[in-house]
Amino acid sequence: MIRPHSLRALIDTLKTNHRNVGLLCNQTAFLFEEKMYLMDWLAKEKVLKTIFVPEHGLFSELQDQEALENAEIYHFWEGVNCVSLYGHDEQSLKASPEKVEELDDILIDIQDVGCRYFTYLTTIAYLFETIARCQRPPRVWVIDHPNPAGRQVEGSPISTTYASFIGHEGLPHRHGLTLGEIAFWLKEFYGGAFDLQVLMGASPDYFMQIYPSPNFPSLQTAELYSGQCLFEATILSEGRGTTRPFEIVGAPFLRWETLHRIKHDVEHLSKEYHWFNYVLRPLQFIPTFHKYANELCGGFQIHLSTQAKNHSLLSSLLLLRTFNEHIPNLWRIGSYEKGNPRTALEILVGDELLIDFVRGKQPLLEVVSYLKGSENQWINSVGYVSKEPLFSLL
């Protein structure tokens, strides 16, 4: 088959050759130039057989960790089977080999956000794991998307010890790659011999105008997410249920005086570091759902200058450590993920040294040195897939 170099040419080729096509996507697979969803186009050309639906549902209508048991609720396309890849059990997270081998081609069109906690990457990884084991693997086409968190790298690769659906083994907290680039990395990780092709995505004119998940409303979210997502490991609200998730953090028991003490300590500890540029603005807020729904909370909104560089992971680790010094029993207890006994802190931070740091057991200078080495090691290891230079602020 001739290798197309555009999405339109690919769809023409799929139609001409009567291919059976699968599509892993959500609502970010909207083609603004065509004014339609990719699934609508493929269905119209009568090549689409299966839609694989990730966490949050096809239209990002489901909240975090909310299972989709019956993807046939998306019964909009005649003859198209919808398969949930986020049900109630671990088995539901992976497509069956039988479903995959029915297909000649699989297209992947979904917006990643540049951090390992964002589970679409793990969904793609599990799909590649299945494809790599197939006797007759389908050809894979990835529609490339820019990384809204940019080319900056943060953190350390997660080990097998802490890896999970919320953090694929080997990925740092913030990876710096586009969707197409990380697809090549995942293919190599699983030793896949299948054919993988990457096509350029849509025009940047509409970049991030469709939210990729229900609590990811903006590019500002992408700048903070590598650090602020870690607040899911605490008893504090991470801002879900507000219009500024991952920018707002707090709880009903946080008094005004406590907030100012925390603010003072964070500013004192961070004043010598160029990588810390959080501005903490004390406020009150009322989440409409999730933690502390309909309760008045005290907390902070985190602001970032559009000009300043910021290491969000380190900044949030420092913020977490300071909260831990002021709030007893800060950390969520019990398992965080289905089928996994580990706590949210272990799964999200995913590194023993960093866990010890937020608990007050490691000095900041040692953490900075450790992350500098880890980030540069990742940058060097993925140079073969990255079309543009990655960088670390450390």
Tell whether 288 and 320 lie within a shared domain.
yes
Q: 113: domain CATH number?
A: 3.40.50.12170
* Contact (CB, 8 A) for 305 and 273: no
Q: Write the pLDDT tens digit of every residue in 98-116.
A: 999 999 999 999 999 999 9
Q: Is there a domain that residue 111 lies in?
A: yes
Q: What is d(CA 182, CA 386) in angstroms, rounded to the nearest whole number?
A: 8
Instruction: Give residue-wise pLDDT tens across range 371-387.
Output: 999 999 999 999 999 99
Say which DSSP state 111 is in: -
Say which residues have a Cβ less than 8 Å from residue 258's Cβ, sequence separation at least 6: 298, 326
Domain-located, residue 63: yes
Number of domains comprising the chain: 2
Task: Give the range of the structural domain holding residue 304, as residue numbers without chain letter.
Answer: 219-381
Do both 251 and 364 map to the same domain?
yes
Contact residues for 201 (Cβ-Cβ < 8 A; gap 6+) = 109, 143, 144, 145, 146, 179
From 8-17, 178-187, 231-240, 331-340, the region with the lowest mean pLDDT: 331-340
Q: Which two tokens stand for residue 160?
A: 């097998």
- Asked whether residue 172 falls in the same domain as residue 289, the answer is no
Judgement on whether residues 283 and 194 belong to the same structural domain of the protein: no
Q: What percent of the chain has pLDDT over 90?
A: 93
User: Are 196 and 223 found together in one domain?
Assistant: no
Burial grade of 385 (CB within 10 A; 0-12, 13-18, 19 or more): middle
Supply the DSSP symbol for 137. P
CB 321 within 8 A of CB 360: yes
pLDDT of 252-301, one tens digit each? 999 999 999 999 999 999 999 999 999 999 999 999 999 999 999 999 99
Pair 135, 262 in one domain: no
SS (HEC) of 146-179: CCCCCCECECCCCCCCCCECCECCCCCCECCCCH
Decide: residue 339, CB within 10 A, 0-12 exposed, 13-18 middle, 19+ buried: exposed
For residues 128 and 176, membership in a common domain is answered with: yes
Q: pLDDT tens across 153-192, in order?
A: 999 999 999 999 999 999 999 999 999 999 999 999 999 9
Asked whether residue 229 falls in the same domain as residue 346, the answer is yes
Q: Angle at CA 100, nearest 5°, toward 95 and 101? A: 145
Mean pLDDT of the 16-30 span? 97
Is residue 68 one of the residues assigned to a domain?
yes
Residues 143 and 30 in one domain: yes
pLDDT confidence bin for 1, thresholds 50/70/90? low
**What's the chain's Rg over C-alpha atoms?**
21
Q: Are 240 and 182 in contact (CB under 8 A)?
A: no
Instruction: Evaluate whether residue 390 is within a structural domain.
Output: no
Assess whether pLDDT exceeds 70 at residue 309. Answer: yes
